[in-house]
Amino acid sequence: MATSLQLFIAQVSATEPSGALSRAIELLQRGGPVMWPILLCSIMGVTVAFERLFAFWRYNSANLYFRQSIGELIEIIKSGEFERALQCSAEIDSPFARIIHEALQNRATGFSETLQAVSQRELNKLRRGFSVLDTVITVAPLLGILGTVTGIIGTFNMLNAAGLSNPTAATAGIGEALITTAAGLIVAIVCLFPFNYLTSQLIRCTTELEQTIHNFEVAFNTGNLTPEPQPPQ
């Protein structure tokens, strides 16, 4: 496996003698085998961060129209016109609309319970990938330290075998070992900013969803006191 990786790196280096790619490959080689799991962490972290940013953008965009018409739908529910509210919510492609639609469908057996269950389902969709980002932020610096420790151990083993005849090689080995620490910290820092932003967005969405659910529960309780108008015969 190691021979195949070295052969692949040699081929890429031969085709790209200069540029950012060759420098990155050189750093991977100098950092040692621990650089590969750090690279994997960086790919996972960046991929999840972009995917979650797009998911939150899509969530907020889908709810934009519903936020504008939410007052009208609440008034319809307050008036006891549940069938009309059910039809209106079905026509809107929005997480909020899906929540109220399912709750209205199950209003005879448990309106509030359905609101809570479906809202948690929507929030769980937004939470996907958070554990991956959290793990990358925690593991990447630890992998960097591990690479540095193993590199320093290798340097001391070299000194024990060759003596102090070439101290420059020892300092160069220690410098190369520190590459993994720098790489692990960079990966953690890059993933930390989107993780904190996404966490704040999740808190905001949770608060907004709780307020919306409360408004719908109040409107539904008010609408239950008003007989639903019957269609003309």
Tens digit of pLDDT for each residue in 201-222? 999 999 988 888 888 888 888 8
Give 49-100 pLDDT, tens digit per residue.
Answer: 999 999 999 988 888 777 777 888 888 888 888 888 888 888 887 888 888 8
In a domain, 30, yes or no: no
Round to whole Å and give the CA distance between 19 and 33.
Answer: 22
In a domain, 23, yes or no: no
In a domain, 4, yes or no: no
pTM assigned to the model:
0.76
State which residues form the domain around 155: 39-223
> What pLDDT was estimated at residue 107?
84
In a domain, 228, yes or no: no
**Encoded amino acid at 10, one letter:** A
Query: Pick from 38, 45, 43, 49: which is nearest to 182 by CA?
Result: 38
In a domain, 21, yes or no: no
Rg, Å, the chain Cα set? 28
Round to whole Å and give the CA distance between 118 and 114.
Answer: 6
Query: Pick from 128, 132, 131, 147: which is nearest to 44 by CA?
Result: 132
Give 2-37 pLDDT, tens digit per residue.
Answer: 454 444 445 444 444 456 667 767 777 777 788 889
Predicted confidence band of residue 166 (pLDDT cuts 50, 70, 90): low
In a domain, 34, yes or no: no
Alpha helices in 163-231 (DSSP H): 167-224
In a domain, 7, yes or no: no
Looking at residue 165, the DSSP 8-state letter turns out to be S
In a domain, 17, yes or no: no
Predicted confidence band of residue 149 (pLDDT cuts 50, 70, 90): confident
Mean pLDDT (whole number) for 41-55: 94
Pair of tokens at residue 213: 């659910």
How many domains are contained in the chain? 1
> What pLDDT was estimated at residue 44?
94
